[in-house]
Amino acid sequence: MKKKNSINWEQLIDWLEGHLSEDEAAILAAQLSADDAAQLDEAWLRQFYQASDMLVLADPPTAVTDRLEQRFATFAQNRRPPSLYQRLLASLSFDSQLTLVRGARTATPAGDQRQLVYTTDLATVALTLQKRDQDQKFDLLGQLLPTEASETDLVRVLLLKEEAEFDSTLTDDLGEFTLTALPPGSYQLVLSNEQYEITIPTLHLSA
């Protein structure tokens, strides 16, 4: 069993590699002379350093290096560029409550149903807001229509209210999703998968 004040490996390594000051080295040498276990550790470390200094790694055969270079070159040619996660803010391109009159949008009387279309470079998001007669809450029906290069699977739909998660769901195989019984208020809709995140500006659900 080692004594309580025995020298540890870190101290021995620092001593042999010359990392200690003169005073620290002198103190450790004095401790080492009275510690048989530490002396055995020191002897083993010295043998290890000697063996490391004598070890010379030969260059691999030319055939091996040529094969590795060919494989790395092929990998570099076939490697797909890294997929960058894209964050996009959708812009409103259609609102059924707005009509175009002489080049300007004017509001029309709001009905129980409202259609909205938002667009980005990656996808179009179509929304239908339906007010419920029984409780004056809203059902939100949507569909994500991606471009040909975009993925349609496992798109998460997150509904935020006051920057906190209020509800969430996933799109189906057709990119459709539904969120029901939403109280009046202001919301933000975020659709995301492993490649992108689409944020739809504030949705105002008014009773």
Q: Where are the domains of the chain?
A: 9-78, 86-205
The correct answer on CATH 2.60.40.10 for the domain covering 86-205 is yes
What was the pLDDT predicted at 27?
87
For residue 80, give the 3-state DSSP assignment: coil
Question: pLDDT value at position 110?
Answer: 45
Rounded Cα gap, residues 198 and 125, in angstroms: 9
pLDDT of residue 127: 96
pLDDT of the chain along its 207 residues, tens only?
A: 444 456 888 888 888 888 888 888 888 888 888 888 888 888 888 888 887 777 776 777 888 777 777 766 765 555 544 456 789 999 999 998 875 433 444 444 445 789 999 999 889 999 999 999 888 899 999 999 988 655 456 799 999 998 899 999 999 989 999 999 999 999 999 999 988 899 998 899 986
- Helix, strand, coil share (%) of the chain residues, nearest 5: 25, 40, 35
Q: So what's the pLDDT on residue 7? A: 80
C-alpha torsion sign, points 49, 50, 51, 57:
positive
pLDDT of residue 107: 44
**Structure confidence at residue 114 (pLDDT):** 92
Residue 69's pLDDT is: 78
Calpha distance 188→190 (Å, rounded): 7
How close are the terminal C-alpha atoms of the chain, in Å? 80
Sheet (strand 196-205) strand order = 86-89, 196-205, 185-192, 156-161, 164-170
pLDDT of residue 84: 62
pLDDT score at 173: 87
Query: Could you give the CA distance from residue 25 to residue 30 in angstroms, rounded to a whole number?
Result: 9
Quote the tokens at residue 197. 């995140």
Burial 6-42 (b: 16+ CB within 10 A, else e): bbeeebbeebeeeebeeeeeeebeeebeebeebeebb
